Amino acid sequence: MRRFSCGFTSFLFLAFYCLVLTISGCAPKARPPISTLDTPEHHVFSGMKLLEGGRVSDAERQFNLAKELDHKYSPAYRGLGLVLGYRGDFKSAFKTMSQAKQLAETKEERALTYVGIMRLFTQQKGKDWLEDVERNFQKARKTLTYLPDLPDPYFYMGIAFKEAYKFSDAEEAFKKVLEINKTLIDKADRQLKLVQKIERAMPETLIGKKVAILEKVKKVDVAALFIQELKLGTVYEKFRPEKYGASFKSPGQSSYPQEIPVPVDVQGHPLKTDVQIVIGLGVKGLGTFPDGTFAPNEFITRASYAMMIADIISTITNDPALATKYVGNVSPFDDVRGDAPYFNAIMVCTTRGIIEAKGGIRQNLFDPMGSVLGADAVLSIRKLKEALKIV
């Protein structure tokens, strides 16, 4: 009996040993590095930079290279989770971020996985998404108890507040990043200036807030901004009642010109009514092309936006002479020729302080072909209202 017991114990031990060897054999083997910079840390660093630049596939490759070197490296899984979020596969993204959290070896790594989850919720914008972001922000902070502050939770909390149109809260979060003074300083400073500009612009409508956070403004965005935020139909009727009647009021205030055909590429667009009205008002640069299209997704340049604003000023003030007021003048801008077709419009807007010049210390650049920042577009509407005393 004792011999049987010893033999059975030996059998169990041998079976367990074989099982361990089998499991070990199934586990992925780490790839040996082939250069000094072939490290998990360097690949994740490069991946994050590529992700910021919108190069999602290249970033994914870097994160996978990090995994090949260390299949338990938490930051690699965090990066892959963000890649999946950029692609809209949030189910897989959250699952991968959960793996990153389980593999985290330090409190900072674990806190950064909560930051990754914050970013996913901000991208997804599901039901109660801001509350989900705030909950994970608190988890990240709690994880870092008794450790120096990490700027990442505050920065991405600020981004979430900005995208939820809570601009004052976003401002405080970005200020905290600058106070910590470790990383993300340049990004936080840029975001802080952006939300402060939006607060100066004081957008009154939802469309105004949506446009304010855009990096680039499209033609359809400007149409909606003029009709809803500026209420251009009502403004034209007030200042030029002999030309513009009640049919050109903003949506929800009165009827709109049903006789104006809807551009073929705006049919079914949620901002179709705004486009239709702005076409009826005849704002320069916001009309249709000969083929009947409007090109709603075309990005607006600073020069074309100046031409639109100058045309509105001329119409409201009933001053056709503004269209040629600065023709023949010497351009104060190094990047705008005096004979450029948009020179006069730029001068009309900049001399009134409605559109700001560019160039930092050198205030003699306008960047005519540059894109229009959403915050700048909304701020110019605020300045236009103040300059023309539009209530």
Query: What is the dihedral angle through the alpha carbons of 207, 212, 216, 217, rounded to the nearest 10 degrees?
Result: 40
Residue 192 lies in a domain: yes
232 and 176 co-located in one domain: no
Residue 379 lies in a domain: yes
Which residue stretches of the chain are H helix?
2-26, 40-52, 56-69, 74-86, 90-103, 107-124, 129-143, 151-163, 167-180, 185-201, 206-212, 219-224, 232-239, 272-281, 302-317, 343-351, 374-387
154 and 245 co-located in one domain: no
Q: Sorting pLDDT into bands at 50, 70 and 90, what band is 208?
A: very high
45 and 192 co-located in one domain: yes
Residue 5 lies in a domain: no
51 and 195 co-located in one domain: yes
370 and 268 co-located in one domain: yes
Find, among 325, 318, 316, the residue nearest to 390 by Cα.
Answer: 316
Q: Sorting pLDDT into bands at 50, 70 and 90, what band is 280?
A: very high
Residue 2 lies in a domain: no
169 and 136 co-located in one domain: yes
162 and 220 co-located in one domain: no
Tally of structural domains, the chain: 2
Q: Per-residue pLDDT tens for 339-389?
A: 999 999 999 999 999 999 886 545 689 999 999 999 999 999 999 999 998
Residue 24 lies in a domain: no
Q: Are 129 and 117 in contact (CB under 8 A)?
A: no
Domain boundary among 203, 228, 263: 203
367 and 243 co-located in one domain: yes
Q: Which of 3-12, 111-120, 136-145, 295-304 has the lowest mean pLDDT?
A: 3-12
Residue 344 lies in a domain: yes
Domain boundary among 145, 171, 203: 203
199 and 219 co-located in one domain: no
Q: Per-residue pLDDT tens for 92-111?
A: 999 999 999 999 999 999 99
Residue 30 lies in a domain: no
150 and 260 co-located in one domain: no
Domain boundary among 178, 203, 228: 203
164 and 279 co-located in one domain: no
Containing structural domain, residue 310 = 207-387
Residue 88 lies in a domain: yes
Range 302-313 average pLDDT: 97
Q: Per-residue pLDDT tens for 27-83?
A: 567 777 777 888 999 999 999 999 999 999 999 999 999 999 999 999 999 999 999
Place of tokens 């996913």: 120
At 153, which CATH number? Answer: 1.25.40.10
Q: Position 385: which residue type? A: K
Tell me, what DSSP letter sits at residue 322? Answer: G
Find, among 375, 48, 333, the residue nearest to 184 by Cα.
Answer: 48
Q: How far is CA 239 from the centre of its chain?
A: 36
213 and 332 co-located in one domain: yes
